[in-house]
Structure 1
Amino acid sequence: MKRRLRNISESGASEGLSMKSIAILLLAGMSVFAQGQNAPKSALDKATLEAYLRYSELWIPQVAVKIDDPKPSAVSGFMDVAIHLTFNGATKDEMYYVSKDGKSIVKGTAYDIAKSPFQANLDQIKTDQQPSFGAAAWAPVTLVIFSDFQCPYCQKEAQELRKNIPAAFNDKVRVYFMDFPLTQIHAWAMKASIAGRCLYRSGQDAFWEYHDWAYQSQKEITPESFDTKLQDYAKQKGLDALQLGRCMDDKTAAADVEKAMAQGHALQVSATPTLFLNGRKLEGGVEWPILQQLLQIEIDHKAAEAKLAAAVPVPAKADDSCCTVDIPTLVGKKK
């Protein structure tokens, strides 16, 4: 009996020790959990930033969110964080500024008072090898339009620009065309853009004739009829239809379109037409009377800048005669 009692006592001691160990482990786990709960949140953590923005911006669960790595920002003390949203094939890009300590998020536009308010856009817009018309390449005003050949609003904007820019501002404004087909909603827009790039290889005139035809024929074109319509257009213009067909299948032309689209995404273009007037972003098309005023304002602004720059005196070359002692010699002063 005594031996049995001793075993029970030993067993109780063992159980007591085990319970004590479990209690210690539980307390340790709770402590770690509490530390995690109390740890400061950082917007530089992608999961934390996404959760915060989903709540603040009311993005629905079906919206896919991709967050780029933070990059150095022109805004002192902050990092640039680009965020890409996708929903049902549609994409949109947003830019946020996150403080280097991860405590603050800023959404908006930062300006450098010594530069154009639209310098960030100007730095990203690349117009080389893009179709253009109007004034010379060094014109004071540049109008860049991101457009979609299947977009009805783009059709209206294109017709107004083609008619009014040469008549009103032919020596002051140059217009550049950038492909931005909304492939998720426009079935033949990409094909139309590729065809435009193919014809651009033959020169500016070839592209703009096609551009005007495509918009004029927009209501008659369908995804099923585009190829036939294009071949008919080529025959009417005396173009090599076979060569055009080969170009359409060539990935180089498609790559040119995708390059323009990538530039649009970098500029956060999400609607067509989107215009950039010397870097100023104008979304969704602008009625000609309003655009005409905006163009004139920009022309006047550039003229005022040039006048101010001309009025700034050029620093005179330093004259050290006031501080140099000259002693005349028979051979004169050596230069």
Structure 2
Amino acid sequence: MRIGRLARFLPIAAFCLAIVLIGSFAPIRLPWIGIVDAPGEDATAVDYDAIEAFLKKLTAKQPIVALTVIRQVEPSPFPGLQQVKFVVEMNGQRQNGLVYLSGTKIFLGQIFDLATQQNLTEQQSGEPQPVHYDIKDLDLADRVPRGKPGGKLVVVEFSDFQCPYCKQATKPIEALLKKYPHDVVIYYKHLPITQIHPMAYKMAMASECARSQKAEAFWSFHDRFFSDPPIRDAAQLREQIGQLAQQQGLETKRFLTCYDNAEQATRVEKDMADARKIGVNSTPTFLLNGEFVSGVQPLENFERYLKTK
């Protein structure tokens, strides 16, 4: 739609319709859209399923866990428009959005009151609410715990052995375990971002081949991968992990066979599937007692969960 077609609506009742992101849920990236044909045979029929399918198509490339249209039409602040709410779950948050309807047309955007300069769409959408996940729904059956299982704080970390921010995240986690050895347990889950970290998947498989022989060897590989200089070459990686396997008392030939044949790829893929299931798309990302938290966290952020339980 051209701006000229939209402009004729602007003077009505001192409201302004701006074509920008829906609601206040900034992580959603929608194409620039003004007016599109709305589903339904006439101006009064609303096909909620078609609206939902349309929104899902627009956001198909976003790491959205769920998008649901609320099946109820309401009057909007803009004269002549009705509105339908939808709910998006993404990045560990749940946020309301709004679709505006006029007959057989849909508006995607925000409504502002020019008199008060308030964003009326944002007001009705509300603040994002954190989503709490049940850690029992994740596949932790053979994840090797570090710390005290059954402690006050359960940390599930989605990480990548080549991620520089994940390396930074190891410091506050080490401090957390040292300060609260009986209150915290850490579970590591793989999310290698292979588009920018070409060795990350292989490193994940190596750590799992080590774990398959000796559980505690997983954390030895973990610590070395984050403490050693970055590895960019597959031959160098194979040499290093062979030496590390020997140092850990593993059967080196069996270990390298496991690595070369990608015998633990399925285990890595299970972790990646768990990441997709809850919308994790960056590393490091943590579940702290089930609450979704992205990025490197200072020690005090972890401590907050110990104090609130």
**1:20-73 per-position Cα deviation (integer Å, ceiling 9, x unaligned):** xxxxxxxxxxxxxx984647343423xx43544666xxx6xxxxx2xxxxxxxx
- Take 2:48 and 2:252, find their aligned partners in 1: how far apart are those partners? 55
Contact 1:121–1:267 (CA under 8 A) maintained in structure 2: no
The CA RMSD measured in Å over matched residues stands at 2.9
TM-score, normalised by the number of residues in structure 2: 0.63
Contact 2:135–2:290 (CA under 8 A) maintained in structure 1: yes
1:232 equivalent in structure 2? 243
State the one-letter code of the partner of 1:99: I
Pairs aligned (count): 224
- Take 1:293 and 1:159, find their aligned partners in 2: how far apart are those partners? 13
- Take 2:282 and 2:138, find their aligned partners in 1: how far apart are those partners? 17
Q: CA deviation at 1:141?
A: 1.1
Q: CA deviation at 1:218?
A: 4.3
- Take 1:35 and 1:142, find their aligned partners in 2: how far apart are those partners? 48
**1:198-225 per-position Cα deviation (integer Å, ceiling 9, x unaligned):** 1112333211111111111242443452
- Take 1:262 and 1:214, find their aligned partners in 2: how far apart are those partners? 23
Question: Which of the two has greater strand per residue?
Answer: 2
- Take 1:212 and 1:110, find their aligned partners in 2: how far apart are those partners? 35
- Take 2:136 and 2:249, find their aligned partners in 1: how far apart are those partners? 40
Contact 2:191–2:275 (CA under 8 A) maintained in structure 1: yes
**1:84-115 per-position Cα deviation (integer Å, ceiling 9, x unaligned):** x27xxxxx23422223569541225569xxxx
TM-score, normalised by the number of residues in structure 1: 0.59
2:78 equivalent in structure 1? none
1:98 equivalent in structure 2? 69
1:267 equivalent in structure 2? 278
- Take 1:153 and 1:175, find their aligned partners in 2: how far apart are those partners? 17
Contact 2:160–2:193 (CA under 8 A) maintained in structure 1: yes
Q: CA deviation at 1:118?
A: 4.8
State the one-letter code of the partner of 2:306: I
1:49 equivalent in structure 2? 52
- Take 1:104 and 1:118, find their aligned partners in 2: how far apart are those partners? 19
- Take 1:211 and 1:35, find their aligned partners in 2: how far apart are those partners? 55
Structure 2 residue runs without a partner (length 5+): 1-38, 74-83, 96-129
Q: 1:128 to 1:35 in 2, by over 3 A?
A: closer
Identity score, percent: 23
Is 1:107 aligned to 2:88, yes or no? yes
Of residues 228, 237, 242, the one that matches 2:253 is 242
1:142 equivalent in structure 2? 154
- Take 1:206 and 1:255, find their aligned partners in 2: how far apart are those partners? 19
**1:174-219 per-position Cα deviation (integer Å, ceiling 9, x unaligned):** 0110111112221111111111111112333211111111111242
**Secondary structure at the residue paired with 1:268?**
coil
Q: Which of the pair has the greater relative contact order for Cα pairs under 8 Å at 6+ separation?
A: 2
**Secondary structure at the residue paired with 2:213?**
coil
1:195 equivalent in structure 2? 206
Is 1:128 aligned to 2:133, yes or no? no
2:172 equivalent in structure 1? 160
Contact 1:181–1:193 (CA under 8 A) maintained in structure 2: yes
**1:233-265 per-position Cα deviation (integer Å, ceiling 9, x unaligned):** 233444322111221244551111100110011
- Take 1:213 and 1:280, find their aligned partners in 2: how far apart are those partners? 28
- Take 1:248 and 1:207, find their aligned partners in 2: how far apart are those partners? 14
2:306 equivalent in structure 1? 299
